Amino acid sequence: MSSVRTGEMAKLTQLIDNEVFRAYATYTTIVLIKMMLMSVITAFFRFRRKAFANPEDVSSFGKGENAKKYLRTDADVERVRRGHLNDLENIVPFLGIGLLYALSGPELSTALLHFRIFAGARIFHTIAYLTPLPQPGRGLSWAVGYVVTISMAYNVLKTGLYL
Amino acid sequence: MSSVRTGEMAKLTQLIDNEVFRAYATYTTIVLIKMMLMSVITAFFRFRRKAFANPEDVSSFGKGENAKKYLRTDADVERVRRGHLNDLENIVPFLGIGLLYALSGPELSTALLHFRIFAGARIFHTIAYLTPLPQPGRGLSWAVGYVVTISMAYNVLKTGLYL
Amino acid sequence: MSSVRTGEMAKLTQLIDNEVFRAYATYTTIVLIKMMLMSVITAFFRFRRKAFANPEDVSSFGKGENAKKYLRTDADVERVRRGHLNDLENIVPFLGIGLLYALSGPELSTALLHFRIFAGARIFHTIAYLTPLPQPGRGLSWAVGYVVTISMAYNVLKTGLYL
């Protein structure tokens, strides 16, 4: 049985050895880690601004009204949360469409162009949101990532449309 | 090396050439593009209603109090945002469970039935949310997509359970 | 053509027959179903507390002010929704990074350890959020799932980095 597993592994390894797929794996992992960082930044601002959402989160600050005053929204916390949600809204399509695009047999150089621009745009979007930079910086970085995803979607449908 | 890549590509192409997988790719791309449209509709209503979330988004409307009055929530904007979040909550499970289902070797006709009903239900859900149509239209379309996803999950676990 | 399809299916089946991939499929399906349950729990609390978000959802409760009073937020509904959003923020990275990790050829025992701890941590997180359990129960379960995902991401980048 062990040899069977090795044989199967060899086949799976062909997938991860494919350069386009490895590029997809690399950039997807990078943007997902970037998105995960938003959780840590949210927690950081919640503690710094003492602005929490759940009674059990503030019980260590005292009892009754003493603790309740920390159950509040804070402008900086909400800003990070909006950035996090915007990541979800845009990185989920990249995750799905990017995978299908990577499996549709694109040129390596074209695929790398898509992945790199998307990752760069999303990293810039986060910087623009948290600084904050004046508009249209954030808006443009959102649009760039959006257009890259639509371009990959177009290639997926062109290669493999099956309705 | 180029021939190695070609060989690997051939193997990947076998995946995208598989009809069930192509159907999954097509319907996943469609529902993800539909979800991405919600961002554009949100932006459209934000500009039309002049209801924004970030100070830097309204700075072009003037200074101080003149601009601040546009930092507000609007019923239509919030409605689109709820529809967008509902998409995320339901399309993410479809993305993951659907992929595993497509790889579990279902009959093409059964798979197409699942994918088509899911995509139709989610498109109707958006129409019902944005019109808005009277209930239980939206509720039923949500339930149909939900049941389709559970049905695919059941097939994945039946085929490949490994705890 | 039918024989071609059978040939392709055989190749796909090699993927679903791989033990690491089957384990990924199983645990991903479990955590996605768990996440989907949050929708049902939200709906349950919305009806029980009579706290809805859309005018069309309350029209069966009467007309005008009679119905409008049910358009409100409720602490328990909001708690479930926060738990749901936290699932999205953490299960989406697991979905993507876990898939790439499963395809990177890890040892079965190591992979199972990652998947089982992640699934257990997320199930505990939901219990801790909905009960609610005193902190740091929920915080720790979030952190465990987070660290497991980072560990898988590290393995993906170590195996297949391609920038």
Distance from CA of B18 to the nearest CA of C (A): 6
Which residues of chain C have a CB within 8 Å of the CB of B83? none
pLDDT value, residue C123 = 98
What's residue C126's pLDDT? 98
Tell me the residues of B at the C interface, defined by beta carbons under 8 Å apart: 11, 14-15, 17-21, 79, 82, 85, 88-90, 92-93, 95-97, 99-100, 103-105, 108, 129, 132-135, 138, 142, 146, 149-150, 153, 156-157, 159-163
ipTM (interface pTM): 0.91
Q: How far apart are CA A3 and CA A9, in angstroms?
A: 10
Q: What is the pLDDT of residue A141?
A: 98
- Residue B3: per-residue pLDDT: 40
What pLDDT, on a 0 to 100 scale, did the predictor assign at position A60?
85
pLDDT of res. C61: 85
Low-confidence ranges of chain A (pLDDT < 50): 1-10
Of A120, C103, C30, the closest CA to residue B162 belongs to C30
pLDDT at A6: 47
For residue A65, the model assigns a pLDDT of 78
Q: How far is A139 from chain C (nearest CA, A)?
A: 22
CA distances from C68 to A28, C71, C100 (A): 44, 5, 48
pLDDT digits (tens, 9 = 90+) for C78-102: 999 999 999 999 999 999 999 999 9
CA of C23: which chain B residue's CA is closest?
B162
DSSP string, A94-150: HHHHHHHHHTT---HHHHHHHHHHHHHHHHHHHHHHHTTPPTTHHHHHHHHHHHHHH
Q: In whole angstroms, what is the distance from residue B6 CA to residue B118 CA?
A: 35
Q: What is the mean pLDDT of each run of 10 residues along chain B (163 residues)?
A: 44 71 97 98 96 93 83 96 98 98 94 98 98 95 98 95 89
Q: What angle do CA C132, B92, B36 make, to 5 degrees?
A: 120
Distance spanning both ends of chain A, measured CA to CA: 39
Give the per-residue pLDDT at A91.
Answer: 98
The pLDDT value given to residue B6: 47
Q: Give the pLDDT mean for C33-43.
A: 98
Would you call A70 helix, strand, or coil by DSSP?
Answer: coil
